[in-house]
Amino acid sequence: MTFGAQPRALRAAASCLALLLCLSLSACGDGGRPPADVYVIAPAQTERSDPAPAEPPAVTPPERALPAASAPQAEEAPLRELPAVERTYVLNQNTGKFHLPSCASVREIKETNRLDHTGTRESVLAMGYEPCGRCHP
């Protein structure tokens, strides 16, 4: 079998191996002479036909347990409303925002625009103020 009769990919692989062997031998300082115990072994040629590309396996989503429509449900307890808590808020009359007193934005409010208010959050919202985006009161 001659070297020219091999497929192109196999010839390229053999060329790469030969180049690597030459580079490694020249780096040894032996003047490029191969040692007596080094042999170049060509890979075996196998006849392969181009197989059809393999399709990935079908992935099915896990089964989800659906709630049974006929299952009797226990009586739901009515939601209790939390009592309205009064606290102190800082209102910015210029921007229409309200803040917690510990908010970093409070330091930037001018005294002419600042108003301290004690009341519930709902009462401040009813006054038309919007919550601050930093402290989320």
The reply to whether the predicted model has a pTM over 0.85 is no
Please give the structure tokens belonging to residue 128.
């038309």
Kindly give, in sequence order, each residue whose CB lies less than 8 Å from that of residue 3, ignoring residues fewer than 6 positions away: 11, 14
Residue type, 135: C
E strands, 1-137, in order: 87-92, 97-99, 114-119, 130-131
pLDDT in tens, 61-100: 555 555 555 555 556 667 677 788 899 999 999 999 999 9
